Amino acid sequence: MYRIVIDKYIPFLEGVFDTFAEIVRLPPEEITAAAVRDADILVVRTRTRCDAALLDGSRVRFIATATIGYDHIDTAYCQRNGIQWTACPGCNAQAVCDYVEEALRHCGHAMGRNFRSIGIVGAGHVGSLVARMAERKGLRVVLCDPLRSADGFVSAPMEAVAGCDVITFHTPLTHNGESAYPTYRMCDASFLSRCKKDALIINAARGGIVDEEALLKSGNPCVIDCWEGEPHINTDLLLSANTLLSSYHIAGYSAEGKRNASRMCAEAVYGWMGIAAKPVLPSLPVSRGDSEAGWLYRLTKQLQQSPSAFESLRRNYVPR
């Protein structure tokens, strides 16, 4: 029988694998090399770094992460060691789009502005939804995604993005050597110097895409959900008057998005185990978290009051 180690904070997986495998549910801090040594499968989130330190000497052969991003998985190591892995692209795209929409609503009011243009870096699942939402609001949309050029997509240059009233990032986090277009700190001092001084910068993608010190020095208004160095976040940026909204990496945390991710993980695990049946997941809860107007501002105040509680706030957040 297979042995599966699952991050205990991933919802909707109760009973899904129990007929086919021995299940061990652990908080991420307890998913250690010793804990996974006898595991065949891991189902994790971004808080579990899947690399040699965790996996050397284990019998793990399949990793499913219930997230869009996968920079916490050492994919080169996995390839060298015959470990297959899968992520959940698009699982929470609508939730992130809703986050950006709420940010636009609040910041437009707070700044006394009618935004006329939006630059969207990354035209995948999330970026495409954000583009359609922005078009419905009458904004001129500038889409930049050179990686999609091979598919016939016409990518706007970053110079065009820099001229927009709002700039929002929706890319994975990649470094030099990993991609022809690395995204690590792509929003740096040089880029910000070409932006309008009142351009609203939004990072609801990955921590590290925005150079936080450069953003702080630029004085640009901003909305930050994803922070470099989480859970130890940049409190100077958090408490800056220019940070109009902030949150604890929950832009994609909707009940529907989480269920989508769990379903995609379950289907991938079933496929890897050779199980023909479809996994049956619990239904969405009737009662959900705060989604009334102003919800993001309320989260901002909560984080500003307790920045050291970042991880606890994230863990206990009730998906909207």
pLDDT exceeds 90 at position 126: yes
Cα dihedral angle (42, 47, 53, 58), rounded to 10 degrees?
-10
Identify the pLDDT of residue 138: 98
pLDDT grade, residue 150 (50/70/90)? confident
Task: Give the CATH number of the domain where residue 243 resides.
Answer: 3.40.50.720
For 49-82, what is each residue's pLDDT tens digit?
Answer: 999 999 999 999 999 999 998 999 999 999 999 9
Q: Report DSSP state, residue 50.
A: B
**Assigned domain for 189 exists:** yes
Identify the pLDDT of residue 7: 98
Identify the pLDDT of residue 69: 87
**Assigned domain for 213 exists:** yes
Do 126 and 73 reside in the same domain of the chain?
Answer: no
* HEC-encoded secondary structure of 105-148: HHHHHHHCCCCCEEEEECCCHHHHHHHHHHHHCCCEEEEECHHH
**CA dihedral (204, 207, 209, 215) positive or negative:** positive
pLDDT exceeds 90 at position 177: no
For 295-311, what is each residue's pLDDT tens digit?
Answer: 999 999 999 999 999 99
**Assigned domain for 286 exists:** no
Mean pLDDT, residues 10-14 taken together: 96
For 29-50, what is each residue's pLDDT tens digit?
Answer: 999 999 999 999 999 999 999 9
Q: Which residues are catalytic?
A: 206, 230, 249
pLDDT exceeds 80 at position 318: yes
Identify the pLDDT of residue 165: 98
Token duo for residue 292: 């009334």
**Assigned domain for 280 exists:** no
Do 122 and 214 reside in the same domain of the chain?
Answer: yes
pLDDT grade, residue 86 (50/70/90)? very high
Range name among 83-87, 178-182, 184-188, 194-198 with the lowest pLDDT average = 178-182
Task: Give me the chain's average pLDDT, please.
Answer: 96
**Assigned domain for 278 exists:** no
d(CA 227, CA 211): 10
**Assigned domain for 284 exists:** no
Interhelix angle for 93-111 vs 295-305, to 10°?
80
Do 165 and 227 reside in the same domain of the chain?
Answer: yes
Do 42 and 112 reside in the same domain of the chain?
Answer: no
Do 27 and 104 reside in the same domain of the chain?
Answer: no
Identify the pLDDT of residue 286: 85
Determine the structural domain holding residue 80 and report its residue range.
2-91+255-273
Do 181 and 115 reside in the same domain of the chain?
Answer: yes
Identify the pLDDT of residue 31: 98
- Per the structure, the count of domains in the chain is 2
Do 166 and 193 reside in the same domain of the chain?
Answer: yes
Beta strand segments in the chain, E: 2-7, 21-26, 41-44, 62-65, 84-86, 117-121, 140-144, 166-169, 200-203, 222-224, 243-246
Mean pLDDT, residues 105-124 taken together: 97
Token duo for residue 59: 């019998």
Do 214 and 225 reside in the same domain of the chain?
Answer: yes
